[in-house]
Amino acid sequence: MDEELYIRMLNGRPVDHPMLRSNVESAFPDIDFNNLPHWLARFERVEKPRAGVYEIVNGPIYVIDGDLIRDQWVVRPMTEDEILIKQNRVRQTAAYDQGNRVTSWIFDEATCSYVTPVPMPDDGFPYDWHEPSQTWVRIPPPVLPEIIEGQDGIQRKPYPRGGGAWRWDEATVEWVKVTDEPPEVGTFAVPLPPEE
Amino acid sequence: MATLNDTTINSAGYLRLPQGNTGQRGQNGAGSIRWNTDQGAAEIYNGSGWSRVDVIAPPFPPGQSTYTSPGTYTWTAPSPVSVVHVAAIGGGGGGANTWAQQGGSGSGLGWKNNITVSPGSGYTVVVGGGGGDGQNGGTSYFQSASTVAGYGGGSNYGGQTGGPNGNSRGGGYAGDGGGAGGNCQSWGGAGGAGGYTGRGGNTNEFAPAGGGGSGGNTYSSTFGTGGGGGTGIYGQGAPGQGFYTPWSGQNSPGGGGLGGSGGTRGAYGENPWNGTGENSNNMYGGQYGGGGGGPGTSWPAVAGDGGPGAVRVIWGTTVSRSWPSTNTGDL
């Protein structure tokens, strides 16, 4: 939403909530936006900050900043009770989920989440956790089938990996790279139409 | 009974009519007028019977206000707008904030037609934000959450968001119609946003959805689950689609569900084989209201945020307009 925002003022303080400029224009057609009346001020929306693991974000309240009114958020640390409630909720949910998958993961208080008992190697390769042996197993690159059937029912070689968008060429029976841009919606399943 | 001739009332106040129920009617010839308490309306005698007198609002041209950034707003009814039609989509639930976990659930979409408003009066509009790090999405509404609302999508840790017409953790809705968000199950891909006449896709549901499609599951904990598709705010259109991948069941990220009614798709899940692709920091749910994707294990455990909510207010009597699909675009 890129529209400018405005807010009503009463006795020098903001009242109600911000209005879209288009709404101000239609509801108050005589407003001169270059010379705002005393009961109207520009407003700036401030995105809610992301809370830390044990933080709570309160607000917003509207504060005056010169001729501008803007959101102000307050970040505070959780109380001990709030920390306990959050940790218990994570523990209970994780216990339910892990019943079907892994049981060895341990609760990490710093991140309030469950992590593997052994850190994943940081050599840049992807690994999968192997619960029976309690180890990380390096994942080989996927071995793709030679021919797959797309959603359209046509059998082709698998859609190429490694980025870009590709077009299926019936003449050469190969994928042809169209662009280096990231794959678009459905390109894994629905190939691009033939080139004109 | 007093008889007055050519009377002028010098007051800015009122002239109160005689009041009574239908059984108390009396008249003194054509032109008699009274307030009927049974009907809650004035009536006039035409010489042979009583006719109800209704006030007909003046016609007004189409207009609209569209809110797509989370926060609280005031919408002021322009003169002479006396009735509006509103659709509200909640914020999607956030993906779980621990390794190899599930995505968030989709939000609900509610719409309501013929909401009476007073020209010049202000009405509260709330746009719910997408949940982050395992948190629920916010609820979007007009006037109040019981008037018309799309409830936020739930999350692994936040649970259900409440509200009527829910779909487990998928957000519910209030109004004349709408759809619940898709439910995200344990270890699964995110749910899609609710649609105008049906729910969003549930986890790994490779089927057309009333709203946004679901995100795909993954085989390996290393790969993240996909974000749910969002639903557009311009009225009912083509359905969303749960993601399909030929590699389903092998090592691959979950795909993002395709959006419904012009909504955007959810992001692909975290893919350790694509260093430049989407990772756990941007596995967003689609706009509006798609659930965020869940993380794999290759990046720090930060899940995708749910897609933001949206509210759209439309009006106009010179052109017939109503949700879910009658002239709901910009006019």
Contact B158, A86 (CB under 8 A): no
Question: Given an 8 Å threshold on Cβ–Cβ distance, is B67 in contact with A20?
Answer: yes
Q: Which residue in B65, B73, B298 is closest to A126 by CB distance?
A: B298
Cα dihedral B43, B44, B49, B55, rounded to 10, equals -50
- In DSSP terms, which residues pair with B86 in a beta bridge? B112, B313
**B250 token code pair:** 């092998």
Picking from B98, B122, B297, the nearest residue to A16 by CB comes out as: B122
Which tokens sit at A169? Answer: 């060429």
On whether any CB of chain B is under 8 Å from the CB of A163, the answer is yes
Provide the whole-model pTM. Answer: 0.79
What is the SS3 string spanning chain A?
CCCCEEEEEECCEEEEEEEEHHHHHHHCCCCCCCCCCCCEEEEECCCCCCCCCCEEEEEEEEEEECCEEEEEEEEEECCHHHHHHHHHHHHHHHHHHHCCCCCCCEEECCCCEEECCCCCCCCCCCEEEECCCCEEEECCCCCCCCCEECCCCCEECCCCCCCCEEEEECCCCEEEEEECCCCCCCCCCCCECCCC
Cβ partners under 8 Å of residue A95, min gap 6? none
For every residue of B138-169, DSSP letters joined together read PPEEESBTTTEEEPPP-BTTTB----TT-BTT
Phi and psi for A40 in degrees, rounded to 5? -140, 140
Q: Which of A22, A111, A128 has the CB atom closest to B220's CB atom?
A: A128
d(CA B186, CA B25): 68
Q: How far does the CA of residue A195 sit from the closest CA of chain B (Å)?
A: 23
- What pLDDT, on the 0 to 100 scale, is given for residue B207? 65
Q: Which of A33, A103, A36, A43 is nearest to A72 (CA)?
A: A43
- Distance between CA B38 and CA B40 in Å, rounded? 6
Burial class (CB within 10 angstroms; exposed 0-12, middle 13-18, buried 19+) of A120 = middle
Q: B117 in helix, strand or coil? A: coil
CA dihedral over B248, B159, B312, B322, signed as positive or negative: positive
Residue located via tokens 């049974």: B38
The three-state secondary structure class of B315 is strand
Q: Which residues contact A47 (CB under 8 A, 6 or more apart)?
A: B70
Q: A residues 87-146 near B, CB within 8 Å?
A: 89-90, 93-94, 96-97, 100-101, 105, 111-116, 120, 125-129, 139, 141-145
Distance CA B57, CA B77 (A): 14
Chain B residues whose beta carbon lies within 8 Å of the beta carbon of residue A101: 187, 221
CB–CB contact A127 B222 (8 Å): yes
Q: Please tell me the predicted confidence (pLDDT) of residue A163.
A: 61
Residues of chain B with pLDDT under 50: 219, 245-251, 274-280
Alpha carbons A170 and A48: distance in angstroms, whole number: 51
Q: How far apart are the first and last CA of chain B?
A: 56
| Tokens describing residue A142 | 């996927």
Compute φ and ψ for B202, nearest 5 degrees.
-80, 170
Cα(B187)–Cα(B238) distance, integer angstroms: 28
Output the pLDDT for position B239: 85
- What is the C-alpha to C-alpha distance for residues B166 and B118, in angstroms, rounded to an integer? 32
Give the integer Cα–Cα distance in Å for A73 and A144: 49
**How confident is the model at residue B179, as a pLDDT?**
94
- Helix ranges (H only) for chain B are none
- 10-residue mean pLDDT profile of chain A (196 residues): values are 92 96 96 96 94 91 95 97 89 61 78 82 75 81 56 61 66 75 44 41
Q: Does A159 touch chain B (CB under 8 A)?
A: yes
